Amino acid sequence: MQAAPADEVFRALADEQRRLVVRYLLDETDGVASEQEVADYVSAHGTEEALVRLQHSTLPMLDEAGLVRYDPERGRVRDRSDGVVEDVLTAVEGR
């Protein structure tokens, strides 16, 4: 996988919901989840109307930035990030 340009990564990770999606795929799954699993996780962390926003904004942007592969027809999300993205998340989240 070709690394995403830094600006794309930072823009994609600037939003809390997008960070939650990437963190979920990295920490809670084997890198693959359904839209509904992702929506349930994001909803559990205080974000309302998660599925609509995920489908129309969050997942397409993360896909465009190269951080996930989103297949809306199958309702599947797959992690495509690399160690650098996890390092950025850790720094941003203060972990």
pTM for the full predicted model: 0.79
Q: How confident is the model at residue 22 (pLDDT cuts 50, 70, 90)?
A: very high
Average pLDDT over residues 65-77: 93
pLDDT for 70 equals 96
**In this model, does residue 1 exceed pLDDT 60?**
no
Question: What are the chain's domains?
Answer: 6-87 (1.10.10.10)
Contacts of 70 (CB under 8 A, 6+ apart): 59, 60, 62, 63, 76, 77, 78
What is the distance between the alpha carbons of residues 74 and 27, in angstroms, rounded to a whole number? 22
Q: Which residues pair with residue 78 across a beta bridge?
A: 32, 69
Torsion of Cα atoms, 76 then 25 then 10 then 58, to 10°? 40
The predicted model gives 52-76 an average pLDDT of 93
pLDDT greater than 90 at residue 48:
no
